[in-house]
Structure 1
Amino acid sequence: MTREELLQDLAYARSLAEEGRHAPLLGGAYFVFWGLLNAAAFTAHWAVRAGRLPHLDGWAFPTIWISYAIVAGVGMALLGARTRSKPGLTSIGVRAESAMWMGAALALLAISVGSIARMVTENDLTAPNAIFGAAFALYGAALFGTAKLSQQAWLGAYAWLSFAIAGALCLFANQAWAYLGAAAGSLIVLFAPGVLLLRREPSNIV
């Protein structure tokens, strides 16, 4: 192989890598799902706290969040099956997106378990209020990392919005209306970019 042929091969390999880096992301459906689910759960939680929905003898909050967990589990299973049929799963951007959000999900799970355990063991009813501020900080980190690694710069704007929402929710965590803020934030930083990502997704057949 001549030097010129070697350089051509290297240039071709580089072009393939660049194409993979700029391949469409596949997380749009997840963003839409979690944006809507979070918004519904946070709004219902606020409605119970504000007296707009009945307390059901103390079962209102458990009902909301047990239902949330069930819908989340079913939804994730269906979304996983959907994503596996999409082309581009091995692209750099898609793998980065998957890793970032998996890390954020595990961190959020740890925070949620700890906060709920504190509520139960210490009878601290405000403990779960710390969850959504941390959640939006993690959303922002995942969005920021995905934007950088996939070179989808427009996602960075949603990352900064998520950081701002996280700060506000931490500041006003114990206010009942903060749950409405979290619901609106979910629509802004999850649902909205999710719709945009869905529009850019490749079809199942390429």
Structure 2
Amino acid sequence: MSQHPQADVHGDIAYLKSLAEEGRHAPVLVGPILVAAAIWFGAATAVQWLIALGRVPLSGWGVMWMWVGAGVGFAALLYVLIRKVDARSGSQTKDNVAIGAAWSACGYSIFGLWLVLMAFGLSTGNWATMSLMPAVVMIAYGAAWMITGQVVRQGWMMLTGAVCFAGAAALGWFAFTHWTYVIYLVLLICVALLPGLHLMKLAARARG
């Protein structure tokens, strides 16, 4: 009888050790979400660029509903992706919980600031400030990447965050020209699509 408590203790120690090992080697799991964001909003940006060039006959509320549609489409896919990520091994490690919180805060901040600019436009009739929305997105992305890089101690992630901040400044400079859409599309590829695909590759390698 006296051996059972000892066996339980050894079992608990082994379990805690396995959790520690899992946390140490768990990959970052936000890759699919970054790829989805890049695809949905990159497509909307490409259409917006064509509108600015006069290639697509869409204006006013039509443009607004295009972006709302992209946001709704991304939100629906995001719901599915989050459920899949939560089901993955390592999703509840300390690092991935912190990273998930950082990117959730990024998304909520973008949505909140979009609401602010929408309210300003509706109340004043001045929609010029919406031109700064891409810069706002890049600032939020930059903060999330900086936090992610600090959590997992990866320099390339912090460098990606720095690219976001530099890109935000460029977007502010070109805010009222059609070049802002080109810059924004390139940034989405560089700081969301490509890093997201890289993280997905690392996660697949860790699982295999």
Q: Same-fold call, TM > 0.5?
A: yes
Q: Deviations over 1:21-71 (max 9, x none)?
A: 452000000011111112111111121122110126x44303311321221
**CA distance in 1 between partners of 2:200 and 2:133 (Å):** 28
Q: In the TM superposition, what is the alpha-carbon distance from 1:133 to its structure 2 partner?
A: 0.6
RMSD between superposed Cα atoms in Å? 2.6
CA contact (8 A) 1:93 1:150 kept: yes
SS at match of 1:127: helix
Q: Residue 77 in 1 paired to residue 79 in 2?
A: yes
Choose from 190, 194, 197 the match for 1:195.
Answer: 197
Q: In the TM superposition, what is the alpha-carbon distance from 1:139 to its structure 2 partner?
A: 0.4
Q: In the TM superposition, what is the alpha-carbon distance from 1:79 to its structure 2 partner?
A: 0.7
Q: Residue 48 in 1 paired to residue 47 in 2?
A: no
Q: Deviations over 1:112-151 (max 9, x none)?
A: 0011111222111212111111110110110011011122
Distance 1:129 1:192, change over 3 A: same
With the length of structure 2 as denominator, give the TM-score of the two structures.
Answer: 0.84
Aligned letter for 2:199?
L
**CA distance in 1 between partners of 2:122 and 2:75 (Å):** 23
Partner of 2:95: 93
Q: Percent identity?
A: 25
State which drifts further: 182-191 or 88-97.
88-97
**CA distance in 2 between partners of 1:205 and 1:143 (Å):** 23
SS at match of 1:26: coil
Partner of 1:7: none
CA contact (8 A) 1:96 1:150 kept: no
Partner of 2:70: 68
- Structural mapping, 1:5-24, within 5 Å: 17=20, 20-24=23-27
- Structure 1, unmatched stretches of 5+, are 1-9
SS at match of 2:128: coil
- Structure 2, unmatched stretches of 5+, are 1-12
- Structural mapping, 1:88-167, within 5 Å: 88-167=90-169
Q: RCO higher in 1 or 2 (8 Å CA, sep ≥ 6)?
A: 1
**CA distance in 2 between partners of 1:78 and 1:161 (Å):** 29
**CA distance in 1 between partners of 2:158 and 2:115 (Å):** 29
Q: How many residues align?
A: 196
Aligned letter for 1:114?
V
With the length of structure 1 as denominator, give the TM-score of the two structures.
Answer: 0.85
**CA distance in 1 between partners of 2:65 and 2:18 (Å):** 52
CA contact (8 A) 2:26 2:206 kept: no
SS at match of 2:129: coil
CA contact (8 A) 1:22 1:151 kept: no
